[in-house]
């Protein structure tokens, strides 16, 4: 049974909370004592479970949490988390009241949302904290560096608003060539200098994502925002490994069925795999609706009884099949590992998908129960 009393599927993601705490402490070794730590727990904690991850990072010494959208922030507040939470992304102005009511910090890059927060906060006799977003070269959210001073002055003049922070985001920090990232730093410092010339000091300046936290100490500023590295995964193959982090997630399921098949048997939709000889096929109760991508069909292995077995045929919405002919004794109820910490990793799965490890873990579906292990 799950904690909510519902029957638990024989599919689960094991999340090692101890590993997440360890990773926070490892990251903090790279930081000056005065640098704040903002744990990025958006996308349900990169698939690991936002509430559990948030609590673990705060226990390990994180100062701030960051999410992408308002609903993610509200989930943390509902779970009793009272620390600072920054929404990194867009919040419609008609939701300003919820931001203020729940003491959430909002990113601003347009006067519309800033004015909505101001009106709500002033009417309630409260202060709405905001962080100004500067686009230094990502081409996404944010104001241009040349507009930063004028915009910031306009926001500062609004009643009920406190500009607590200002930040930008790197586009290529996970590349071994840091030329463009350093150009972005120059643009950010230009914006900061223009703001300072107007007599406005913003206390929290931040820019470093996971890669910059690892490799660009000059970008640490007042706060860092590690994301993927919290979960024990590296931002790219080009990033060095100055610390020892541990992957926190393993995706597993139970074998649902094993059958003997004859040569020439078609497997799954479209009969994309025809058995070349007699053998055994195991059916697993996990599919693309769980985040186990259909693009992995015929491309990856799973582990059963410590041995690799190839996935065969098309991955279905709720099931997939593996050829276990070469593994003796496989039976219903055996545990199958789809990815784990050391062998058959999320990075290996990502490479076979032609994507990044971020996508592999963050798309593990909500209907997959998370089982948390904390050895402390």
Tell me the binding residues for substrate. Answer: 140, 317
With vertex at residue 345, the alpha carbon angle to CA 372 and CA 21, rounded to the nearest 5 degrees, is 40
Q: Give catalytic status of residue 6 as yes or no.
A: no
Q: Which of 112, 126, 259, 269 is catalytic?
A: 269
Q: Locate the DSSP E strands across the chain.
A: 11-16, 36-40, 64-67, 85-87, 105-108, 128-133, 161-167, 204-208, 223-224, 249-254, 257-261, 266-267, 273-274, 279-284, 301-304, 307-312, 320-323, 335-339, 370-373
CA dist 26 and 124 (Å) reads 41
Using DSSP's 3-state secondary structure scheme, residue 203 falls into coil
CA dist 40 and 22 (Å) reads 16
Binding site feature residues: 140, 317
Q: Which of 42, 55, 178, 252 is catalytic?
A: 42
For residues 262 and 269, the answer to whether their CB atoms sit within 8 Å is no
Q: What share of the chain is helix, strand, coil (3-state, %, to 5)?
A: 35, 25, 45
Q: How many helices (H) and strands (E) does the chain have?
A: 11, 19
User: Residue 230 — φ and ψ, nearest 5°?
Assistant: -55, -35
Instruction: Name the one residue in this structure whose structure tokens are 């931001």.
Output: 99
Using DSSP's 3-state secondary structure scheme, residue 321 falls into strand
Element (H, E) at 75: helix 70-78
Q: Give catalytic status of residue 273 as yes or no.
A: no
Distance of CA 8 to the CA centre of its chain: 24
For residues 67 and 76, the answer to whether their CB atoms sit within 8 Å is yes
Which active-site residues does the annotation give?
42, 269
């Amino acid at each position: 049974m799950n904690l909510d009393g519902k029957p638990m599927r024989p599919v689960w993601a094991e999340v090692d909370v101890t590993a997440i705490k360890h990773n926070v402490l490892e990251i903090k070794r790279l930081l000056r004592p005065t640098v704040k730590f903002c744990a990025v727990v958006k996308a349900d904690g990169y698939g690991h479970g936002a509430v559990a991850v948030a609590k673990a990072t705060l226990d390990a010494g994180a100062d701030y949490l960051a999410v992408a959208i308002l609903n993610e922030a509200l989930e943390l507040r509902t779970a009793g988390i009272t620390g600072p939470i920054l929404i990194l992304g867009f919040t419609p102005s008609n939701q300003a009241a919820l931001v203020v009511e729940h003491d959430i910090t909002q990113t601003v890059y347009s006067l519309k949302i800033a004015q909505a927060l101001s009106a709500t906060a002033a009417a309630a006799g409260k202060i709405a904290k905001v962080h100004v977003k500067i686009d230094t070269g990502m081409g996404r959210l944010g104001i241009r560096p040349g507009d930063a001073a004028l915009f910031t002055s306009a926001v500062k003049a609004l009643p009920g608003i406190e500009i607590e922070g200002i930040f930008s985001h790197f586009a290529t920090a996970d590349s071994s060539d840091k030329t463009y990232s350093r150009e972005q730093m120059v643009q950010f410092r230009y914006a900061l200098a223009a703001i300072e010339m107007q007599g406005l000091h913003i206390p929290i300046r931040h820019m470093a994502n996971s890669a910059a936290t690892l490799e660009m100490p000059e970008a640490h500023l007042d706060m860092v925002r590690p994301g993927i590295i919290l979960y024990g995964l590296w931002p790219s193959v080009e990033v060095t490994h100055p610390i020892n982090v541990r992957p926190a997630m393993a995706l597993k399921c139970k074998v649902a069925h094993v059958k003997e098949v004859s040569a020439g048997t078609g497997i799954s939709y479209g009969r994309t795999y025809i058995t070349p000889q007699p053998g055994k096929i195991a059916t697993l109760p996990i599919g693309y609706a769980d985040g186990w991508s259909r693009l992995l069909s015929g491309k990856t292995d799973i582990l059963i009884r410590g041995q690799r077995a190839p996935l065969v045929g098309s991955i279905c919405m709720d099931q997939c099949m593996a050829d276990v002919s070469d593994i003796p004794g496989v039976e219903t109820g055996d545990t199958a590992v789809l990815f784990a910490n050391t062998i058959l990793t999320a990075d290996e799965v990502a490479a076979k998908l032609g994507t990044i490890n971020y996508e592999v873990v963050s798309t593990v579906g909500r209907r997959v129960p998370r089982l948390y292990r904390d050895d402390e």
